[in-house]
Amino acid sequence: MGVSAIDIEKLTPSAELDFVNYFDTYPENPDYVLVKLGYKFDYGRKMAADIKLVMMDDFLPDNFDVSTHYYIVPRFGIGVGSMLHKDYISFFEQFQIESYPDYILLDQNGKQFTAYDLSFYVSPAFNPFKKDAFQLLFKCDIGLSSFMKEEAVFYHKKNLSNERMHFHYRTLKTFQPYVQPKAELKVKAFDVNKVSVGFIVNSSYYFSKRSIDYKRTIRTWTAENSVVALIKPPKHRYSRFEVNGGMFLRW
């Protein structure tokens, strides 16, 4: 169990919708990691795998971090992996309301994306201490990450007129570089038969510059009268810190 919190640079609003400005609507509230389940195992003479599933406050195990490492020497290895992290982009309908004051937004319900962030990385690993009772592991993931595709639709009607506008936003996959140092500490407490029981603490810090590109289609009055544009908003500083602890079993 642990805590995860993100810090996202908010840029001055422009003439184009910038989805990243609508991340982390309530920054004072951390995202609580309710359950993290991990399984590590060695295979071959120098290979190790690490599988983690994470459930957030919706109790869905739809976050993961999976990697495998080859240890060139006992204390140093190099690996590859993939990670999926979930964020939320909320209430971006406010951009439509503020940008088109002469038009009524016909559906003013709050809009929200579940922004799945998919990553692929390489990861050097260093084990300065690897004893039976005490283990310390450092990793540094270096990779590329992209938010998955999403869509949003808005309908507007002009005040005192029958003129209507239809907006269709389709976000694009855009892989962007990131770095994420990680640390893990294990301390064995006692043995039960051939099973070791102990405590584990791990943390990570993710840093990147992120943007969400999209295609926007505007149709005015009729569907045939449409304008399509590719929008590339500026990049935002994006960081995420996580720390959690629990118990482990080793056999």
Give CA–CA dist 25/210, Å, rounded: 17
**Residue 77's pLDDT is what?**
97
Output phi, psi for 150, to 5 deg. Answer: -140, 165
- Which ranges in 22-168 belong to alpha helices (H)? 93-99
Output phi, psi for 96, to 5 deg. Answer: -65, -45
**Residue 108's pLDDT is what?**
81
Pairing of strands 63-73, 176-192: unpaired
**Residue 28's pLDDT is what?**
53
Of the candidates 199, 203, 185, the residue with the CA atom closest to the CA atom of residue 140: 203
One digit per residue, the tens of pLDDT, for the chain of length 251 reads 888 888 999 999 999 999 999 987 555 555 666 688 999 999 988 999 999 998 887 778 889 999 999 999 999 999 999 999 998 999 999 999 999 999 999 988 889 988 999 999 999 999 998 888 899 999 999 999 999 999 999 999 999 888 999 999 999 999 999 999 999 999 999 999 889 999 999 999 999 999 999 999 999 986 667 899 999 999 999 999 999 999 999 98
Contacts of 135 (CB under 8 A, 6+ apart): 127, 129, 184, 185, 186
**Residue 26's pLDDT is what?**
54
Q: Does 2-6+13-245 carry CATH code 2.40.160?
A: yes
Whether the CB-CB separation of 81 and 121 falls below 8 Å is answered with yes
**Residue 32's pLDDT is what?**
61
- pTM reported for the whole predicted model: 0.90
| 10-47 b/e (C-beta count within 10 Å ≥ 16 → b) | eeeeeeebbbbbbbbeeeeeebebeebeeeeeeeeeee
Whether the CB-CB separation of 19 and 11 falls below 8 Å is answered with no
Q: 89: which 2 tokens?
A: 């982009």
Give CA–CA dist 73/79, Å, rounded: 13
Beta-bridged to residue 164, according to DSSP, are 157
